[in-house]
Amino acid sequence: MMLLSEKATNLYTSSLRGNRRLIVFIVAIISFITLSFFTLSKASFSLGGGGGCGRTIRSLNEAVAFSSSTGSSNSNGFFSIHRSGSSAGQAKFINLNDLEATANAKEEQQHVLILTPVKNAEAYLERYFELVDRLSYPKDLITMAFLVSDTTDNTVQILKDKADEFLNRPNPSERYHEIAIYEKDFNFQLPEDKRHTFELQPLRRSFMARSRNYLLTAALREYHSWVLWLDVDVVEYPETIVEDLQSVDVDVVVPNCLLQTEDGSFWAYDKNNWQETERSIELQKDLDPDYVLLEGYYEFLTNRYLMVDMPTHLGRFKKVPLDGVGATFTLVKAQVHREGANFPPYVFQHQVETEGFAKMAKAMGFGVYGLPGYLIYHIRNS
């Protein structure tokens, strides 16, 4: 009897153990299926599959449907919280919809940011400031910003002294809105006699691009409507040039930059302002995508139509569309930079730096133009 009941108990315990194993097994399977379902459905959103938009670029309707299905909120304008020390935080609201860059910029009091990268530039600074100071655009609407790189001369001190003078003039209407000097070294040095060697240009231009991007991201403020790129060694331009270029009312515009000569003879300088031609486009079809095209070098002829070779007698405001630009003097609506066109330090459509910028701006749908009859002058360096 005793033996029988012991047997029954053993049987009961082992069947209970069997059931428990079964239950654990079933629960594990259900958890696995549930987990897989959520993981896969998330993945299909982030990959943009299964009708979701994820992070890919989709049509506006798809994107709107996606954003309302995930319940993301939207607000007008721009908020940021500022805390200084122990004082209470204060929200800053700036409606960027109100920022405009229009032909009547001066009347509308639109701010201009003049950007100049500099390297061992002390010899050029006096003339540079003389010309900027002569501009007829109101000084209180002008910000100047410099990026000094890999410099061994007195450039920084001269910039600081000039800024001090220009910002503290007795007459407030003669003072500039702001002057900023940034220093950033890339430890990139080229021997002076090698600076324009064909093989070294892609690298030199790539470092110039990095400098320009540094300067742009450090200096651009939310109130700037225009960005004017001005090289330090441009030695002659009209005092009304800012208003003149603004009046053309396009996204990017460049005057025609020639070489200053003693006898006033016509010598081209900025060959980076150009149009593609049928032949230049044809030639690019067989090129390695990483090949950088350069203007003004006999080593490789590009077949582009350079602005310095276009007729200059058709009026100062006769504009032509361009596919490549330099930056000796380049006026850009700030929106173009804000939306993402900058200076590629990598190869973009066979170009780097300023010409890459033009290609990028055009790829984004912006208008890029030049004025062959509007002449400015660059110093003869050697």
Ligand X SMILES: Nc1nc2c(ncn2[C@@H]2O[C@H](COP(=O)(O)OP(=O)(O)OP(=O)(O)O)[C@@H](O)[C@H]2O)c(=O)[nH]1
Is the Cβ of residue 270 or residue 276 nearer to Mg ion in the bound state?
A: 270
Candidate segments 24-32, 144-152, 315-323, 365-373, binder of ligand X by CB under 6 A: 144-152
CA separation for the pair 382, 379 (Å, rounded)? 9
CA separation for the pair 86, 90 (Å, rounded)? 12
In the complex, least distance from residue 149 CB atom to ligand X, rounded to whole angstroms:
3
CA separation for the pair 382, 374 (Å, rounded)? 25
Burial 13-27 (b: 16+ CB within 10 A, else e): eeeeeeeeeeeeeee
210: number of Cβ within 10 Å: 19
CB 275 within 8 A of CB 322: yes
Name which position in 139, 202, 231, 360 contacts ligand X (CB under 6 A).
Answer: 231
**270 part of the interface to Mg ion, by CB under 5 A:** no
Which of the listed partners (Mg ion, ligand X, none) does 149 bind, with a CB threshold of 5 to 8 Å by partner kind? ligand X
Is the Cβ of residue 147 or residue 179 nearer to ligand X in the bound state?
A: 147
First vs last C-alpha separation in the chain:
119
CA separation for the pair 162, 179 (Å, rounded)? 9
342-to-16, 193, 221, 311, 362 alpha-carbon distances in Å: 72, 29, 16, 30, 12
Six token digits for residue 97 = 């919809």
In the complex, least distance from residue 304 CB atom to ligand X, rounded to whole angstroms:
17
Name which position in 147, 254, 306, 341 contacts ligand X (CB under 6 A).
Answer: 147
Is the Cβ of residue 233 or residue 353 nearer to Mg ion in the bound state?
A: 233
Which of the listed partners (ligand X, Mg ion, none) does 137 bind, with a CB threshold of 5 to 8 Å by partner kind? none
Name which position in 117, 344, 356, 370 contacts ligand X (CB under 6 A).
Answer: 117
Name which position in 162, 229, 233, 274 contacts Mg ion (CB under 5 A).
Answer: 233
Give residues in contact with Mg ion (CB under 5 A): 231, 233
Give residues in contact with ligand X (CB under 6 A): 116-119, 121, 147, 149-150, 188, 207-208, 211, 231-233, 381
